Amino acid sequence: MTVQFLNMPMFLLRFTLLLLCTGCQNKSRIDIDVSDINIPEITIHRYDLDLFAIRPDQFQSDLNTLRLRYPFFLNTDPSDTSGWEKLRLYIQNPRNQEFIAAVREKYTDVSSLEKDFAETFRHLRYYFPEWKIPDVYAYISGGDYDYPVQSVDSILLIGLDNYLGNEYQPYVEDGLPLYRIARMTTDQIIPDCIMLISKIMFPVQLPGNTLLDHMIEAGKRLWFMEAMIPDVSDRLMIGYSEPQYRWITSNEKHVWAAMMEHQMLYASDGRTLRTFMADGPFTP
């Protein structure tokens, strides 16, 4: 038996989650009221807008002003002229100019995103009272598509040029596959950040290298995500479209049957692991 469908990255995550949650048919365990969890006001610092607002004829003076507000980004020695010249070229880069123009239009107001972060951080504080809330910064990554969100110490970085929507034509021009472009949307920002935080808080630990080991590890991360962002749909946590999610939930038993029939759960060869766990446009 062969089950095949399009654009289904890491489809086993959903099934692993269901496996781990057997006997728990609702989300009551993670339906937590966090309204009384006090956290500082969450602000997304707009380094992206401020950097690209530098006036070309006032480059040095504007940059010196920004250095006081954004020391994390602008810690270059003022006497390092080559470093500042690289920054000037970065700002003037045509593709980055295209990115910032689209970001200005799409993310003029990020108050809704700030509220979502606040709710997510309250859940994190509920489960992990000692967890340090990061400062959140938006920036232009320059098309660093493999790392749309990053975390350094207590700073969370969001490359907004990675979330300009699935109709943003420059993504196609840069050679990104359509299945990835489909997920480069605003509603993917919070899930991406929580997945990153989960990997920082709980580095990967595999008791073995079988497909089942990888499935369980992935399922644990999904359960973590469900607890931290319980109001976010499962399909967003695993990067599915609505049709893909309906397909996989209605065909769950057939997928399991195929895996059991071909004795895949305890396979440890690289090809099988990549086929079922790596991101890609097709999943057999």
Same domain, 111 and 174: yes
148 assigned to some structural domain: yes
Tell the burial category of 125 from Cβ atoms under 10 Å away from its Cβ (0-12, 13-18, 19+): middle
What pLDDT score does 284 carry? 57
Of 184, 219, 246, the position where a domain reaches its end is 184
195 assigned to some structural domain: no
197 assigned to some structural domain: no
- Among 186, 198, 80, 64, residue whose Cα is nearest residue 131: 198
User: What single-letter amino acid sits at 119?
Assistant: E
Of 130, 150, 184, the position where a domain reaches its end is 184
User: Structure pTM?
Assistant: 0.87
What pLDDT score does 119 carry? 97
What pLDDT score does 281 carry? 75
Same domain, 149 and 249: no
What pLDDT score does 17 carry? 47
What pLDDT score does 26 carry? 56
232 assigned to some structural domain: yes
Same domain, 165 and 49: yes
Rounded to 10 deg, the angle between the 12-20 and 211-228 helix axes is: 70
What pLDDT score does 184 carry? 96
What pLDDT score does 149 carry? 98
Q: How distant is the alpha carbon of residue 54 from its chain centre? A: 29
100 assigned to some structural domain: yes
What pLDDT score does 232 carry? 93
Same domain, 178 and 278: no
What pLDDT score does 27 carry? 64
Domain that holds residue 84: 44-184
Same domain, 12 and 59: no
- H-type alpha helices, the chain: 12-20, 47-51, 59-69, 81-92, 94-106, 111-127, 169-173, 178-181, 189-201, 211-228, 234-238, 242-250, 252-261, 270-277
34 assigned to some structural domain: no
Rounded to 10 deg, the angle between the 189-201 and 211-228 helix axes is: 120
Same domain, 170 and 266: no
Length of the chain, please?
284
What pLDDT score does 282 carry? 67
Same domain, 61 and 160: yes
CA distance 81 to 105: 32
What pLDDT score does 99 carry? 98
What pLDDT score does 6 carry? 36
- Total domains in the chain come to 2
What pLDDT score does 60 carry? 87
What pLDDT score does 8 carry? 40
| Residues of the chain where predicted confidence (pLDDT) is lower than 50 | 1-12, 14-15, 17-25
69 assigned to some structural domain: yes
Tokens, residue 2: 């062969």
Same domain, 24 and 71: no
Q: How distant is the alpha carbon of residue 132 from its chain centre? A: 19
Rounded to 10 deg, the angle between the 12-20 and 252-261 helix axes is: 100
129 assigned to some structural domain: yes
